[in-house]
Amino acid sequence: MAGFRHRNTVRALILAPGERFLMFHSRFDPGVDLPPQWIFPGGGMEPGETQIEALVREILEETGLEISPKEVNGPWAKHHFEFESKHEYDSGTAWFFTICVETEFEPASTLWTPEEHRDNISHRWVTIEDLLNEDLWVGPPGAIDLVANSLRSSHF
E strand intervals along 52-148 = 72-84, 89-100, 120-126, 138-139
Distance CA 40, CA 81 (A): 15
CATH of residue 50's domain is: 3.90.79.10
Instruction: List pLDDT tens digits, range 130-151.
Output: 998 998 889 888 888 999 998 8
- Domain ranges, residue 127: 4-153
Instruction: List pLDDT tens digits, range 87-106.
Output: 454 788 999 999 999 999 99
Using the predicted structure, report yes or no on whether residue 152 has a pLDDT greater than 90: no
> Which pTM value belongs to this model?
0.89
Work out how many domains the chain is built from and give that number. 1
Question: Which DSSP category does 69 fall into?
Answer: G
Mean pLDDT, residues 1-27: 88
Cα distance from N-terminal residue to C-terminal residue, the chain: 40
